[in-house]
Amino acid sequence: MKIFQFVIAGLAALSLVSAGDPEQDDVIPPSDVVVLTSDTHDAFIAEHPLTLVEYFAPWCPHCKSLAPEYASAAAELKELDPPISIASVDCTTENVICDKLSIQGFPTLKLFRSGVADDYKGERTAKSIVTTIKKQLLPAVSDVSPESFENFIISEKVVIVGFFDEKSAAERKIFTEIANVQRDSFLFGAADGSKTFKGHKHTTPSIALFKKFDEGLAVLSEDLTSENIKDFISKTSMPIMDEVGPDNYEFYVKRGLPIGFFFYGSAEQREQVGKVIEPVAKEFVGKISFVYLDSAKFGAHAPNLALKEEWPAFGFQDGLRKWPLDQSKPITEEAVRALAKGVLDGSIASTLKSEPVPETQDEPVITVVGDSFDKIVLDTKKDVLLELYAPWCGHCKKLVPTWDTLAKTITSDKIVIAKMDGTTNDIPPSTKVDLQGFPTILLFKAGSSEFMTYQGDRSLASLSAFLKENAVHGSEVPEIDDSAEQDPDLLHEELDLEELEPEVERDEL
């Protein structure tokens, strides 16, 4: 599941960063962070059995926010015995290694263990980075004794302890395998089930999940299969309803569940309306995530859910689909429950965001909006080359004259050159387009609703050659000899974990 699936503005609006005039100031100031190049990257990874590498762009606001935290983590990790070094790569100058690793957005953090890369799953704070690295230095499962038990179970926000004996070796093996996979997310421990642990009664085998929220403890004591243990952890390790912000947003994204956003305008609204929503959140644990959203900080996300910036407000989002709760009526438990059920069983259609359909099309490039997408783009009689763009996107701006020239050059009425603002219009989910950045260029062939994604350079010659080779009516594309330079920067302005719009005077995730 791609990160773009939970696009947040405010959470997101606050992102898809503008790169029209990138500032080339240092994102990582002089520090203990090792600066890598495409030439030194692989050797550094080979020399360090455990390390973390940040792939960034100097103009990225989230990278700038991370910089002091990353530098602080580097300083602390350097003091470990043995010391751990972490590094950074500027993808605007070191595109060779960033292309090789398929870096899709900024910042991207990758944890390397014995040369094997894995996405960093922690929070973007010095504390979380250091904690994650320290966890990697420990066994996936720590031995927990009666003496260490009390301190161990309160050492982190979520701690998972398995109680086993000689008869439950199979269950312990499964538990250890799961811990190896989820060690970045949680602290795991194993205890001798035949012993007594102060303040905790247990059966053997069983798994206890200790947490600093909700009821404080969840226990799984029957049928400890791999599937059941994973499901138990997924359902009980997150708060029933939590405040979402920069420190935990990524966890909700990676759960892969629809998210119910409750926007509140005051502490009173949070308390009163929250009491209405929380019973529903309990019913759908493990199926839908429910979160609180402070409208003063992240109210700009409301339009992404087709909601007005009027509080309180509530809506669901699942990838590119959204379901706003009627704002003309009070938020009630019954209304939230009915909408949640409709989201899960598909009985309630999602809302499509769209600008007004243009009354006329006077330019060679046809303008598409959400409500006209099917009519124009999925016209089975025509080949349609569609550019999905963002008004602030630097690469999109560079493409404008080329795109206009392409549209003027191709005179066939069987080939359409079109564009759609991807920030103000939704792509119908039925197309299965996975928008990862701007510009994205797609070819919808005549006679089919399937599409091809253009991957070449953005020169006039290359675009026309692509059409000539792949369009059903490609024979009607004229030969174009273009000697213009190719854009060496083939990276999209990617949607990273929360990137969506230019910077605004609100907090970011």
**Mind telling me the catalytic residues?**
60, 63, 393, 396
Measured CA to CA, the distance from residue 94 to residue 37 in angstroms comes to 6
Pick the closest to residue 174 from 228, 220, 225 (CA basis).
Answer: 225
**Residue ranges with strand state E in 283-436:** 289-294, 313-318, 321-324, 366-367, 383-389, 415-421
Alpha carbon distance 385, 402 (integer Å): 13
Cis preceding linkage at 22, omega within 30: no
- Tokens 């191709």, located at residue: 410
Secondary structure (H, E, C), 139-187:
CCEEEECCCCHHHHCCCCCEEEEEEECHHHHHHHHHHHHHHHHHCCCCE
Describe the chain by its helix, strand, coil percentages, rounded to 5. Answer: 35, 20, 45
C-alpha distances in Å from residue 376, one per residue of 188, 420, 433, 444: 54, 11, 16, 10
**Tokens coding 59:** 């103009």
- In angstroms, rounded to a whole number, what is the distance separating the alpha carbons of residues 268 and 245? 19
Beta carbons of 74 and 33 less than 8 angstroms apart: yes
Q: CB of 263 within 8 A of CB of 302?
A: yes
Q: Output 363-367 pairs: Cβ under 8 A, ≥24 positions apart.
A: 363/404, 363/407, 364/404, 364/407, 364/408, 364/417, 365/403, 365/404, 365/407, 365/417, 365/418, 365/419, 366/407, 366/416, 366/417, 366/418, 366/419, 367/418, 367/419, 367/420
Residue pair 426/370 in contact (Cβ under 8 Å)? The answer is: yes
**What are the distances in angstroms from CA 344 to CA 35, 283, 396?**
46, 13, 36
Which helix (H) or strand (E) segment holds residue 234: the answer is helix 226-236
Three-state DSSP at 219 gives: strand
Identity of the residue numbered 400: V
What angle is formed at CA 319 by the lines to CA 418 and CA 334, rounded to 5 degrees? 125
